[in-house]
Every structure is written in C-alpha cells, then in structure tokens.
Structure 1
C-alpha cells in the first residue's frame, strides 16, 4: 500500500481552516509491490522500496503555485546531481479513472498551466495518468542515453472526496482541499541505481564512497601516507591508505577500476618535501602539490558539490 491514506488521517486529525493551507506532509516510507518474475531489475526495479512520499493539501487557487514550487524544488535537487530533467510527460486520464469528470477537467487544466508557468517543455502521454488523477512524470537519461522515470507529481481531486476531508473557508463553508502527491526521488533505491548508471560508476568526489586513496611506493612510505590521510580525514574527506601487499602498479589499476576520484602517490621525494603526487582517475598526474593545498582544494570541491574534478 501507498502512504497516501496515512497522511490523510493526519490531515483529518483536527479541524482545518483555509488560513492553514497549504499543509505539506512528507516521509520516507517503505512500499512493497508484487513485481512479476522477470521484471525485477536490481535497484532499478525492486519489490521493496523506500519512497520520499509527500502530500500537499491546498486550496484550488493554490494548486498551480504549489505545482510550480514542486517543479522548482526538483530542478534544484536534480541540478545537484547533474541530472535532467531530460523528458517531462503530462499523463492524462486513463480508461479506469474514478471520480467526477468535472474534477478531472480541473486537475488536467492545472498541470499544463503549472508547467508553462515554470517554463518547462513537456509532451502529452494520453491515458497514462493514475486512476485518481493526472500526473507529471520526470525522466532522466543515463550515461548511454537510456531514459529512466524518477519524479512523479500528481494532482488529485478524488481522494479528498473518498476520504471526506474538508477545511473551513473564509465564509465558514466546508470545502474539499486538493491533494498533490509528490515523490521527487521516486524511490531511493531506483534513484541510487540511476545515479550509478548516469555516472557510469565515476561519481563526483562529493558522492564517491571513497574520495581519496594514498598509495605508498614502498613500505617505508606507509607512515607518511598515513599522515597525509589523517589530515584529509580530519577535514571530513573519506580517505584511506591502500596498505595491501600488491605492487604499486596493481594498486593503481585496482583503484582506477574502482573509479576513486584521487590517488595520491607518495615516495621519498614527497615525504621529504611534504607534498603528494596526484593521480586523478582521469587527466594527467600532478606532482609536488603541497599536502595542505590538496586538502583545501578537495574540501572545497566536496563542499561545493562540484561535478568535475579539481585536478
């Protein structure tokens, strides 16, 4: 089951006034779906998922502005990851729709108005809306050009009728609110899977599980490598020393395959001068970089959530 009924119960827990609207409720809720055999696809399509489920209860005159704010929110969120949106679809009334036709007309009029007000180009997907309301579907492209659906935003005049929820307007009359269903990530698992595909595993530094690896040329350089890593860790960088028994070449190849953003090669020259040789996963090696300079540069890169490497 979805989380919609539970947010409705929260709304119904007390008398509501028009002055309180919009009311925005959100949670990370678990959802389970009986996906058929053969359709399950790793993180991208799972039977159990975690949804960033949100519902906005608002007046009819607030619907378009609330939709525009949701669109602005998703633009900002997706921009952090360098994602689209690459395709926006307006899905209209399906054959199995429920509810009064006039309410569907109101809902279907609100979505194009909001998209146009937000300056979003879209295409119409006839008959692909939810049974209780039309929706906006946001698709993004991965590294090889495939589309994946993530965000969904739905305008719903029907569930307020079914659950008999109301608010008191400025004239003291009982009025139905409008529900906007919003899931910006869609599902955390799918979003994570799409990020892996989008970056082809080469995450920007701020998102990489391991951001920096120090590779000592010989065992005698292990202490200096640990000293460098300690400074990075103290600055909040996810860094570690590759202290395996492999050769230096094997260590470099392994960390290159794991797409670690930065490898720091340290030997006698670096230990004596207090520097590092930076080998990014892409680009040319840089030698004789002061440790503190590297720590400051990478810390700034991570804090700014830059998508490109600084070196």
Structure 2
C-alpha cells in the first residue's frame, strides 16, 4: 500500500469522501496526500547532502539552491502537467507507474543494504580527485536534479493516486501544494544539515559562554551520527514504501493474495498486541517485500546484464 511513515495504512477512500474543489479541501487533501510521500521524502533528504560532500563550504548553500530550483522545475513544469494529462486520459496507468516507482525504491534500498553488507559499491564516490571544481560542481548539481526527478515522479504519482477521484482543479491544487511543500521541506532541512558542522565550529570557537562552546562541540560530534542515521532511515523508508506500493499495486491489478496474507498477519498481531504492533508488522513485511524484490532487480541488473548504477554521487 503506497504510504508514508505514519499514514501507510490510511484508506484511499478517505480522500475521495472528504476532498472537494474548495481551497480548504484542497489543503486538507494535500496534507493527507503529502503524508503518504514521507518515505520518499526522507530518502531524498538523506541522499542530498552527499552532493555537496567534498566541495567548498562556501559553495554548499548555492549548490543546494540550484538543486532546489531544479527540483521545483521538475515538479511544477514537467511532472505536474504530465500527471494531470495522465489522470485525464489514461488514469488506469497510474497504478503501473506507482509500481514501477515502488520497484525503483526497492532496488535503491536493496542496493544500499547489499553495499552495507560488503557488496561492491556502484556509482561515483565522494573520494574522487576534484581537478576542475566548477565542472565537478555542475556535474554534481546535474546528477542531483536527475535523481530528484525520479524521486519527485514517485512523490507526484503517490499524491495523484490519493486524489485521482477528484476534479481537475483539486488534483492540480494538491499536486502543486505537495510539490512545493516537499521541496521546501527537503532542501531547507538539507541546508541546515550541511551547515550544522559550520555552525558548531563557529560556536565552539566564538561562543560567548561555556554553554555555547559545549553546544557547538555537540553539533560537531552529532553531525557524522546524524548522517549515518539519515542514511539508515532513508534505506528503511525506501524498502518500506517500495514494498508497500508493490503489495497494494498487485492487489489493484487482481493479484490480491500477497497483500491479504500480510493484512491477515497484521490483524492477528493487532488483536494480540495492539494496533501499533499490527501496523509495524505490516510495515515490516512491506520492507521485506521491498528487499526481496530489490535484491532480484539488483542481481538481474548487475550480475546478469552487468550494468552499473550512477546517480551523480555516492550514496
């Protein structure tokens, strides 16, 4: 079932029953639809800091701003019109696009797990020697925007699926609101993350009090741990959301057995241990589904076809 960290199990019909063409209902629908994209958003925020690793600190925020502008163009000028045309003339294709995105998220998550377990790393790394900083920066920015296009497409597809039953104005409004809100949230958070060590260093050296200097040292110490935590959470989120999308998509096209089996286990756990543990059970099986599917895709692409995986920066 396509969903985010909190609303993974929400019924899609809630949106259809409550949304209308009014501004208030568009905002309400956007809030619900936006929550469904949380897993993809976390992955986006976890991946993006890698694109400024190894570059001058003075260029970090300008690069993030350039990526932000590219992300807005991706969502508002390319994906939003495409999504509206799709929903008007070929709505039955939405589930297959979602499943394609779910497969991609599963593959990305599985690839990271395989790399963590000692498998071969694919794509460029941040350890490459930078001979031409301007060209390298341009390459990194272009790579980030390309990756953003893929993640943004999944965000917009999930959002569109939540409001597919609404009229054109509501769909357009929700897609625009979610697109802008997600972009501002992700890249605002990324800006804070990549500058946290600079803030910490400044407070450590220039802090007017002992408490300020200690806080600065705490920020410096926390930065590596935060990046590791983001990477871990992003991987889990990708497998969770990707697998959930696949399970729900299969049910939508008439193969309901896998999702019903997992839902049966979820209901059994809920009856014994409560709804929270039931929800976690569904999420866990969704992640396992994503990991298995992603592992198969990884094997086919890398072991059979010998393809590399490059997204513009190391993950």
TM-score by length of 2: 0.26
* Larger strand proportion of the pair: 1
Higher helix share: 2
TM-score by length of 1: 0.26
Larger radius of gyration: 1
Question: Per chain length, whose mean CA-contact separation is higher, i.e. which structure has more relative contact order (CA < 8 Å, sep 6+)?
Answer: 2
